[in-house]
Amino acid sequence: MSKKDMFLVNSMFYLPMFEELKSYLNNISVFLDEKAAHLKQNQPPDYMDHDSQAEHALTVEQYEEQFPVLLANSFIIVLVSTLERELSTYCNTATEVGSLAIKSSDLSGRFHEQFKVYLSKVVRMPIDFKSNSWADIKGLIEVRNTIVHNDGTLETDTSRKRVILNLYERYPTLNIKGNVLRPTIPFCNQMVQVVHDFLATIAKTADEHFK
């Protein structure tokens, strides 16, 4: 196998994985919807005590509102972790193929910042880091960071908030209420496609760059 083919091998591994992620997300989402519908169709009879009715109402609320948000939040964390791994793998492959002395891990900054500097300055690969595609990737990462580090609450007038609001303009399914993120299942599906398409694009770019 030639060194250039290593990018193809990588893409053959990770691109189908996104179909599995979408399948997992949508199967769990269907389960939650069906469970909520079943609970609403089987309300406690009027003669049941108040506590039983209140408990049933709380359970319905969990399946209708709370659990979908928890599912979306956890899915975004997994998706960004997957993205981080693949960008790191991509940089490592570029290092080996190009026989470069500098690694992306030698650079400062977060993983996507290392990726950007490494590909543009060291590998000199023609990737458009001013595109909406890259803006979407950065927005997704900041959504993940807000969920993990700030319980989904947007801080006032920060660069992170501006990046997220920029993403929200293109993907209203992100669902922001006040200053709190409430990602939806449709948003998660859109972000899976964003990550998939971005990785497919850079794999194609690598194939052309290392001819």
Confidence check: pLDDT of 210 > 60: yes
Determine the pLDDT at residue 11.
65
Map tokens 């359970």 to a residue: 59
The rounded distance, in Å, linking the Cα atoms of 197 and 200 is: 5
Determine the pLDDT at residue 14.
67
Determine the pLDDT at residue 92.
86
Q: Are 177 and 204 in contact (CB under 8 A)?
A: no
| pLDDT bracket for residue 163 (50, 70, 90) | very high
Give the tens place of pLDDT for each residue, 73-114: 999 999 999 999 889 888 888 888 878 888 988 888 898 999
Confidence check: pLDDT of 137 > 70: yes
Q: Around 28, how many Cα atoms within 13 Å sit in the side-chain half-sphere?
A: 18
CA-based end-to-end distance of the chain: 14
| pLDDT bracket for residue 133 (50, 70, 90) | very high
Determine the pLDDT at residue 175.
92
Give the tens place of pLDDT for each residue, 37-72: 888 887 766 656 666 777 877 888 888 888 999 999
